[in-house]
Amino acid sequence: MSETLGTIMDRLDEKTVLDLHFTHDDGPRYAIPDPLATHPSVGKLKDNPYLRDLPVESRDRYSTPYIPNGYDVFIPAKFDRQEWKNSRNNSSNN
């Protein structure tokens, strides 16, 4: 059974940064989509139903002077900008 982003987020502190890398057709195999390029935290992402259901291929923990606790998370799917927008609107209305 593969992990979903939701199961991973449920185990992490809300301040943990998640850099989500999605597959795409152009360039390198993985890239962070523009809407998620701000180093969002688990607390800002955990209630988004679109993100919660995404499968996770792998994750790597990292730490910098500015981000003491973060993960690069690799999603084996393309980023769906419309689903992202719809989920953000729906989760903020609940």
Convert the pLDDT of each residue in 13-22 to its tens digit.
999 999 999 9
Whether the pLDDT of residue 40 is over 90: the answer is yes
Beta-carbon contacts of 14 under 8 Å, excluding residues fewer than 6 positions away, are 41, 42, 43, 46
Report how many domains make up the chain.
1
Strand residues in 24-69 grouped as ranges (E) = 30-31, 58-62
Q: What is the pLDDT of residues 44-77, one digit of tens each?
A: 999 999 999 999 999 999 999 999 999 999 999 9
**In what side-by-side order are the strands of the sheet with 58-62?**
30-31, 17-23, 70-78, 58-62
Whether the pLDDT of residue 25 is over 80: the answer is no
Task: Supply the range of the domain harboring residue 41.
Answer: 5-93
pTM: 0.88
Banded pLDDT at 24 (limits 50, 70, 90): confident
